[in-house]
Amino acid sequence: MDQKDSPPPPNKDERRPSTPARGDGPFPRWALWIVAGVLAVLVVSTLFSPSGNETEITYGEFLQAVESGDVDSVEYDNNNGKITGQFKDEEEFRTTGFLEGFPASDRALLDENGVLIDPKTPSPNILLSILPIFVPMLLIVGVLVWIARRQQSQMGGIMSVGRSKAKTYTTERPGTTFDDVAGYAGVKQEVTEVVDFLKHPNKFNEIGARIPKGVLLVGPPGTGKTLIARAVAGEAGVPFMSVTGSDFMEMFVGVGASRVRDLFNEARKMGRAIIFVDEIDSIGRKRGAGLGGGHDEREQTLNQMLAEMDGFETTEGIVMMAATNRPDILDPALLRPGRFDRQVVVPLPELDDRRQILEVHIKHKKVAEDVDLGVVARGTPGMSGADLANLINEAALHAVRAGENRIHASHIDAARDRVLMGQKRESMALSDEEKEAIAYHEGGHAVCAAVLPHADPLHKVTIIPSGMALGITMQLPDREQHIYRRNYLEDRLVVMFGGRMAEELVFGMSSTGAANDLLQATNMARKMVSEWGMSEHVGPMAWGADKPIFLGDDMMQTREYSEHTARVLDQESLRILLEQEERSRALLDTHRHGLDLVARALLEHETISGAEVHRLLDLASQETGESPPVDVEPIEVDVEG
């Protein structure tokens, strides 16, 4: 299924109709400004452009034309000294004279040649007179209006800060139903009651049954909790209001509680609806666990949510759903009956679920015939729906890079290696000594994994640097495991020590390459002793189990066990590690020739499969008669001393 922790973009017919923005309509706001600008340009060009088709001549040419008797009449402007006139051939002209009028000699010349003179003093243009005053005032008024609108919008934003940020999806045409959720038949059955209540509430009211007010979806990231919530809304045919826990938090005090009230008020107006809060642990953490007291913004938001859920009536038709991957840190008041009184676990998909999810993600991709989704599902234990979607996408990218037009099985294998082991760093320069050390290190892991009866099957061994590792030994379980027996955990420890013991056996010393192996082995041994009761000396007691971490929650609390008990736990963990290390050393010493063959194959080919490792071990057994390893006697460790 399309497993995602965030709802996909809704269709256009699923969104709430949005309010048109200011200025939207038949004519946008920018078109009005363009029209006003064009009109202003036309007015200015009309006022300041010369009118008519007069010929421009100089004042000297004008006097020469007067002496020649070619000028018939002139018109003199007393304001600016401009002279316009007409020749005797009726051609018009213009020139510029003196502001104080015609000189006496020029006036006599005009009179002698019979030129008609018409001095005028035109009245000033009203528009040109007020334009220098009107334009600055208009600019000042425009700036003031802009500032006022900015302040109004800011005040409106502050006043609306308490509004809910929930996205509402109507279900006139439901976009997501249970058919879109691949697998998870048990989860669907759990939430079917919610769908039936929203569809047929009278059936429950007649018998007096009370539907859970809150449904908490619990599961690892990427398992599709949000998708299941949207499918419930789609099946029920009611509005779906989606919001995340962080949407309630703001820098202002009281905003979170205000948004919670607004969210529930909007839901009540819809009659029947589903409120979905994703990542509710961001606001639903245990109260009173911090150093700052119980009056911070997050706790007030949680208090308001608890009060709103208590205000529900059984006939309101409002169901609240939430998703989290940390139910252990939620406040107990949030999980009591009457609030989130039903928890639906959405686990990692099983084998059949993974196959159905792969079918959904590969539906719209071109796939070759050699791809067997059943094999892919068996080779991807522990992957969530989001991981499987990423796997198929990586396989498509590998196919494109290889120049293929279809996804082949080899592309899916390469994508799985990329997801599990990281990007290969083939350009990393390693010396011959380092390559040999890495080959024997990974060969030690591979030999232990191939020989031990309770270890996971060996899939692939490589000495090509990938991610942060210089080499990787990859094991893939052949079945789903939900509990782990002690012999399986001990064999895992032997495999972890295989690389370190191989280096000591071949080179006589260890290296820093086993740092991560030692860290994982130490953590597993500590859990075997302190949490899983796998130590005969400690007995069936659990010490130091993982607890949620809160600032100041356990600051004043003491340990639940004494210093002597802590010493016993450390000694028992050390005993388990030394026992499995000795088993690893004895196993590799017995299969030394097989270890050499595997290391040489890695130096030659860099990557070999698990089947090739088994073939090399069988070949070594035929050549040297190597027998399976014998059990190693436990090492006695002085716990008391």
Question: What pLDDT is recorded for position 275?
Answer: 81
Q: Torsions phi, psi of 251, nearest 5?
A: -75, -20
Return the structure tokens found at 288.
């009173």
Nearest to 632 by CA among 584, 599, 594, 571: 584
Q: Note whether 237 and 360 are same-domain residues.
A: no
Query: Of the given ranges (115-124, 194-203, 462-471), which has the lowest mean pLDDT?
Result: 115-124
- How confident is the model over 56-75, as pLDDT tens digits? 888 788 788 888 887 888 88
**Cα separation, 423 vs 429, whole angstroms:** 16
Q: Give CA 201 to chain center in angstroms.
A: 37
Query: Is beta strand 71-77 parallel, antiparallel or unpaired with respect to 167-169?
Result: unpaired
User: Does residue 601 fall inside a structural domain?
Assistant: yes
Could you tell me if 307 and 387 lie in one domain?
A: no
Domain final residue, candidates 420, 448, 467 = 420
Q: What are 73-88's pLDDT values in tens digits?
A: 888 777 777 888 888 7
* Same-domain pairing of 324 and 370: no
Residue owning tokens 């308001």: 304
Using 50, 70 and 90 to split pLDDT, how confident is the model at 320? confident
**Which segment of 75-84, 219-228, 337-346, 456-465 scores lowest on mean pLDDT?**
75-84
C-alpha span between 194 and 211 (Å, rounded): 7
C-alpha count within 13 angstroms, C-beta hemisphere, residue 304? 22
Q: Would you say residue 254 has pLDDT above 70?
A: no
* Whether pLDDT at 202 is above 80: no
Residue 636 lies in a domain: no
- Residue 46's pLDDT is what? 57
pLDDT tier at 2, thresholds 50, 70, 90: very low
- Mean pLDDT, the chain, rounded, equals 76
309 and 364 co-located in one domain:
no
- Determine how many CB atoms are found less than 10 A away from the CB of residue 251: 7
Check whether 634 has a pLDDT greater than 70: no
Residues 356-364, mean pLDDT to the nearest whole number = 85
Residues assigned a catalytic role: 442
Residue type, 529: V
- C-alpha angle 200/202/204, rounded to 5°? 85
> Measured at the alpha carbon of residue 549, what is the angle toward residues 544 and 550, in degrees to the nearest 5?
135
Residue 155 maps to a domain: no
Q: With cut-offs at 50, 70 and 90, classify the pLDDT of residue 482.
A: confident
φ, ψ at 445 (rounded to 5°): -60, -45
Is 60 exceeded by the pLDDT of residue 153? no
Q: Are both 490 and 609 inside the same structural domain?
A: yes
For residues 392 and 309, state if they share a domain.
no
CATH of the domain at 357: 1.10.8.60
No. of helices (H) and no. of strands (E), the chain: 20, 14
- Each residue's pLDDT tens digit, 390-443: 888 888 998 898 888 888 888 888 888 787 777 767 667 778 888 889 999 999
506-513 contacts at long range (C-beta below 8 A, 24 or more positions apart): 506/440, 506/595, 507/437, 507/440, 511/437, 511/441, 513/437, 513/438, 513/441, 513/470
Whether residue 524 is contained in a domain is answered as yes
The boundaries of the domain holding residue 63 are: 48-122
Exposed / middle / buried, residue 325 (Cβ in 10 Å: 0-12, 13-18, 19+): middle
Q: How many CB atoms lie within 10 A of CB 285?
A: 20
Q: How confident is the model at residue 620 (pLDDT cuts 50, 70, 90)?
A: confident
In this structure, the answer to whether residues 208 and 330 fall within a common structural domain is yes
Same domain, 333 and 372: no
Can you tell me the distance from the alpha carbon of 335 to that of 338, in angstroms, rounded to the nearest whole number? 8
Q: What is the CATH classification number for the domain harbouring 67?
A: 3.30.720.210
List Cβ neighbours of 121 (8 Å cut-off, separation of 6 or more).
77, 78, 79
What does the block give as tokens for 87?
A: 């020749």
Domain check: are 402 and 466 in the same one?
Answer: no
Task: Check residue 571 and give its pLDDT.
Answer: 92
Both tokens of 129, joined, read: 């007179």
| In contact, 76 and 117? CB cutoff 8 Å | yes
Q: Which residues contact 444 (CB under 8 A, 6 or more apart)?
A: 498, 499, 500, 501, 502, 503, 505, 584, 588, 595
* pLDDT at residue 49 is higher than 50: yes
What per-residue confidence (pLDDT) applies to 237? 76
pLDDT of residue 31: 63
SS3 of residue 108 by DSSP:
helix
Is the model more confident about 107 or about 126?
107
Within a 10 A sphere around the Cβ of 82, how many other Cβ atoms?
A: 14
Render pLDDT for 255-280 as a digit per residue (tens, 0 to 9): 667 777 777 777 777 777 788 888 88
pLDDT at residue number 9: 43
Residue spans of alpha helices (H) in 200-254:
201-207, 225-236
| Own/partner long-range contacts of 250-254 (Cβ < 8 Å, ≥24 apart) | 250/161, 250/297, 252/161, 253/297, 253/300, 254/162, 254/297, 254/300
pLDDT of residue 169: 53
Q: Is residue 16 part of a domain?
A: no
Q: Give the number of residues written for the chain.
A: 641
Residue 12 vs residue 281, higher pLDDT: 281
Contact 588, 447 (CB under 8 A): yes
Range with the largest mean pLDDT of 144-158, 316-330, 449-463:
449-463
Q: In whole angstroms, give the CA distance from residue 202 to residue 314.
A: 11
Helix (H, G, I), strand (E, B) or coil at 193: helix
Q: Which of 364, 389, 420 is the endpoint of a domain?
A: 420
My answer on whether 360 and 267 are in the same domain is: no
Check whether residue 313 and residue 379 sit in a common domain: no
Looking at the fold, whether 337 and 380 belong to one and the same domain comes out as no
In a domain, 145, yes or no: no
Is pLDDT at 4 greater than 80 in this prediction? no
Does 322 fall in a domain? yes
Q: How many domains does the chain have?
A: 4
Angle, nearest 10°, between helix axes 385-401 and 351-361?
50
Above pLDDT 90, what percent of the chain? 13
- 154 falls within a domain: no
- 450 contacts 507 by C-beta, under 8 angstroms: no
- All residues at 6 or more sequence positions from 268 whose CB lies less than 8 Å from its CB, including other chains: 316, 318
pLDDT tens digit string along 515-568? Answer: 899 999 999 999 999 888 888 888 888 876 545 444 444 444 556 777 888 888
Q: 450: pLDDT confidence band, cut at 50, 70 and 90?
A: very high
Residue 616: give its domain's CATH number. Answer: 1.20.58.760
